[in-house]
Amino acid sequence: MAADKDMVKVTASRFDPDQDTAPRLQTYEVPFKDDWVVLDALNYIKSHIDGSLSYRWSCRMGICGSCGMNVNGTPKLTCAAHLREYRRGVTVEPLPNFPVIRDLVIDMDDFLQKLKAVKPWIIRELEPGLAAGEFRQSPAQVENFRQFSQCINCMLCYAACPVYAIEPEFLGPAAIALARRYNLDSRDEGKRERTAVIAASEGIWECTFVGECSVVCPKNVDPAKAIQQSKFDTTNDMVMGTMLMPFGIRR
């Protein structure tokens, strides 16, 4: 048996909808290894202690976004949360603000519907066809939206958002950031369609600019910045449209 100093306590939220009326906590002892992350500890529990523990993960490289969980009360990617930072013990729970399917697995259907609503893809009125060749962009044009393109749909920003916690209809940080990404793309012509969604009552105007979404983002996307920029652009377009209307000019 390994000495206590070579072990670390991992407490995981457990919830079986067929048996439990509410989530409960269960504590396990796993080997402590300096190069392990929290996900490694969960995988050890799954493989060696309790095969019934349920959670999501895929790439283990901070790219897929599927292993997001609440780690000691903070939304994190468990593949990027080093176990050595929690030497006194760590509690892993499902991301808040989402229904729990089982244990650490959340239902993300609401997020996926909101993501689809902003049409996070390039929209063109007329497709030129492959024969037209490449649609080239300058480095400056790419840099214009690069930051917002880094989103990996991990939903940590939704878990940290106090507005989404009390207003589930809120479109949310990641969806708005991705709408911003495509609105800034020089190849795209779908800004008007997306603006109708993000400027609706459940969109950008619900945000109170707490900024927690940007604090927890593992890719430095800065959704709060995207929301505030979208507010400015929407207001500017509205004002300019009102000023140009008497002259029969549409923006």
pLDDT in tens, the chain (251 residues): 344 679 999 999 999 999 999 999 999 999 999 999 999 999 999 999 999 999 999 999 999 999 999 999 999 999 999 999 999 999 999 999 999 999 999 999 999 999 999 999 999 988 878 888 888 999 999 999 999 999 999 999 999 999 999 999 999 999 999 999 999 999 999 999 999 999 999 999 999 999 999 999 999 999 999 999 999 999 988 776 555 555 555 55
User: For residues 62 and 68, what is the distance between their CA atoms, to the nearest angstrom?
Assistant: 10
**Would you state the structure tokens that stand for residue 35, as one six-digit string?**
């190069």
User: For residues 241 and 239, what is the distance between their CA atoms, to the nearest angstrom?
Assistant: 5
Cβ atoms of 89 and 30 within 8 Å: the answer is no
pLDDT for res 1:
39
pLDDT for res 239:
75
pLDDT for res 128:
78
pLDDT for res 3:
42
Q: How many CB atoms lie within 10 A of CB 181?
A: 22
Pick the CATH number of 109-247 from 3.20.20.70, 1.10.540.10, 1.10.1060.10, 1.10.10.10: 1.10.1060.10
User: For residues 132 and 197, what is the distance between their CA atoms, to the nearest angstrom?
Assistant: 32
Cβ atoms of 223 and 177 within 8 Å: the answer is yes
Q: Where in the chain is the domain with CATH 3.10.20.30?
A: 4-106
Pairing mode, strands 105-106 and 68-71: unpaired
Biggest CA–CA distance in the chain, Å, is: 83
Which residues are bridge partners to 28 per DSSP?
Answer: 10
State which fold the 4-106 domain adopts.
Ubiquitin-like (UB roll) (3.10.20)
> pLDDT tens digits, residue range 34-87?
999 999 999 999 999 999 999 999 999 999 999 999 999 999 999 999 999 999
Cβ atoms of 172 and 158 within 8 Å: the answer is yes
How many residues are recorded in the chain? 251
pTM of the predicted structure, to 2 decimals: 0.91
Q: Where in the chain is the domain with CATH 1.10.1060.10?
A: 109-247
CA atoms within 13 A on the CB side of 134: 3
Q: Is 180 helix (H, G, I), strand (E, B) or coil?
A: helix
In the β-sheet with 74-77, what is the strand arrangement from edge to edge?
24-31, 7-14, 90-93, 68-71, 74-77
